[in-house]
């Protein structure tokens, strides 16, 4: 809560105000001191240099100074005071009635201008007005300082709250991902041939997503979609899913339904909305020859287009009962061959931008338990995921 200015204190503070009076004429100096010293704490100086020395030693609320003095003039003194003591108000005195002198004094920062010979009541009025102004300036400065302190305090509180929120979100994300990994692992347990497939595809997808400058939220959706892309196979009978031989056309019809099953399972889960789209479209092809909806080009979401390349790379480089896995060079060649038909040319270009040795390293990290990274901020082990590849603010891990 901000503190209002207590105007009742403004006038009370005038009684203890400190005033520095400067004039090279002893008579003028004596008259002003006698006039003001009964109500205020006054000190006198006969020149500007002496006044500056006093100002360095202690603070004054008001400086009442002659303009025309030997050595440094009152206007020069005014400039020094404006630089070094912003809370001090200056009233200048001069026997020069030239209006230009008054204007010049005000422009340089003087609050008021009194001409000689002066009426003592006019001096008292000018001093009272100047001190009221000075007290308002000081109060406003204190108020601004209080606001700055308040803003600093609230900013610190928000930063602490943000750190706590990020920590909570990180824990929540890790728990979500552990649950999804468990689901993916349970599905792969039904089909030994695809063991580790989801983790490898996740790793490839995230590297491609980074190469294509996807934001953190899209990378996380891409990770979830890649991890759960085959969740719909839970609805495919084992006799079809695990069949060693070639599937009949009727069996292929059942197998293709896993896309719809997967989308139905995830639909309605808000944080998996982006992943659901990828699951629903991960068998579409760029030229429209895929399934289930024969979507083509940009009709297919970018996540599904990225997945198609990642899935093909893993299929080509992984061992199968009927053949050994082929090198990444062969995968790159196949991607180029099918660019524009099966695959999005932009995603193929992104794949080829990354050195093949980097893809080999990513595969090793995805399949070796020892390749898990330790997040220095939390001490937790994190597999190759959106937390590690994106430099995400949740963990701030380095990029591969």
Helices (H), 191-257: 197-211, 216-227, 238-241, 249-256
Structural element, H or E, at residue 99? helix 99-107
Distances (CA, A) of 145 to 8, 134, 283, 376: 20, 16, 62, 38
Q: Are strands 41-45 and 89-94 parallel, antiparallel or unpaired?
A: unpaired
Q: At what angle do helices 197-211 and 302-317 cross, to 10 degrees?
A: 130
Q: Are strands 373-374 and 381-382 parallel, antiparallel or unpaired?
A: antiparallel
* Residue 116 backbone dihedrals phi, psi, to 5 degrees: -90, 150
Instruction: Determine what percent of the chain falls in helix, strand and coil, rounding each to the nearest 5.
Output: 60, 10, 30
Give the Cα separation of 112 and 106 in Å (integer).
7
Going by the DSSP 8-state scheme, the letter that residue 390 receives in this structure is: S
Q: Which of 275, 266, 312 is nearest to 290 (CA)?
A: 312
Q: Which of 375, 388, 400, 363 is nearest to 199 (CA)?
A: 363
Which regions of the chain does DSSP assign to beta strands (E)? Answer: 18-22, 41-45, 62-66, 89-94, 112-115, 373-374, 381-382
233 is known as an active-site residue: yes
Q: Which of 242, 237, 204 is nearest to 222 (CA)?
A: 204
* Residue 382 backbone dihedrals phi, psi, to 5 degrees: -130, 125
Burial label, 200 (beta-carbon count in 10 A; 0-12, 13-18, 19+) = buried
Q: At what angle do helices 99-107 and 74-84 cross, to 10 degrees?
A: 20
Give the Cα separation of 73 and 102 in Å (integer).
14
Selected catalytic residue, list 59, 116, 233, 381: 233
Q: Rounded to 5 degrees, what angle do the CA atoms 306, 325, 181 make?
A: 50
Residue positions annotated with a catalytic role: 233
């Amino acid at each position: 809560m901000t503190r209002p200015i207590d105007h009742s204190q403004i006038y009370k503070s005038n009684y203890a105000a400190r005033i520095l009076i400067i004039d090279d004429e002893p008579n003028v100096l004596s008259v002003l001191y006698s006039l003001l010293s009964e109500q205020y704490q006054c000190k006198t100086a006969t020149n500007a240099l002496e006044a500056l020395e006093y100002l360095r030693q202690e603070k004054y609320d008001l400086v009442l100074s002659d303009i025309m003095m030997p050595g440094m003039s009152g206007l020069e003194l005014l400039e020094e005071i404006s630089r070094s003591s912003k809370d001090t108000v200056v009233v200048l005195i001069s026997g020069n009635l030239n209006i230009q002198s008054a204007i010049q004094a005000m422009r340089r920062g003087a609050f008021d201008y009194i001409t000689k010979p002066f009426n003592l009541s006019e001096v008292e009025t000018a001093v009272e007005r100047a001190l009221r102004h000075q007290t308002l300036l000081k109060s406003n400065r204190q108020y601004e300082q209080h606001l700055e302190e308040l803003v600093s305090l609230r900013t610190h509180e928000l930063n602490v709250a943000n750190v706590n929120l990020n920590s909570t979100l990180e824990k929540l994300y890790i728990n979500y991902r552990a649950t999804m990994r468990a689901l993916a692992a349970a599905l792969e347990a039904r089909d030994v041939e695809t063991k580790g497939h989801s983790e490898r595809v996740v790793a490839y997808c995230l590297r491609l997503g980074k190469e294509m400058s996807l934001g953190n939220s899209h990378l996380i959706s891409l990770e979830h979609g890649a991890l759960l892309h085959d969740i719909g196979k839970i609805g495919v009978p084992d006799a079809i899913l695990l069949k060693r031989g070639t599937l009949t056309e009727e069996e292929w019809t059942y197998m293709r339904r896993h896309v719809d099953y997967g989308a139905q399972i995830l639909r309605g889960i808000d944080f998996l909305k982006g992943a659901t789209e990828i699951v629903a479209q991960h068998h579409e092809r760029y030229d429209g020859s895929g399934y289930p909806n024969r979507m083509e080009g940009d009709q297919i979401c970018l996540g599904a287009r990225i997945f198609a390349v990642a899935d093909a790379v893993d299929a080509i480089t992984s061992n199968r009962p009927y053949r050994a896995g082929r090198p990444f060079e062969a995968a790159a060649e196949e991607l180029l061959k099918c660019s524009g038909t099966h695959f999005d040319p932009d995603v193929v270009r992104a794949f080829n931008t990354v050195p093949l040795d980097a893809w080999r390293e990513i595969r090793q990290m995805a399949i070796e338990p020892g390749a898990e990274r330790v997040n220095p901020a939390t001490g937790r082990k994190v597999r190759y995921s959106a937390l590690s590849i994106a430099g995400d603010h949740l963990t701030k891990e380095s990029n591969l």
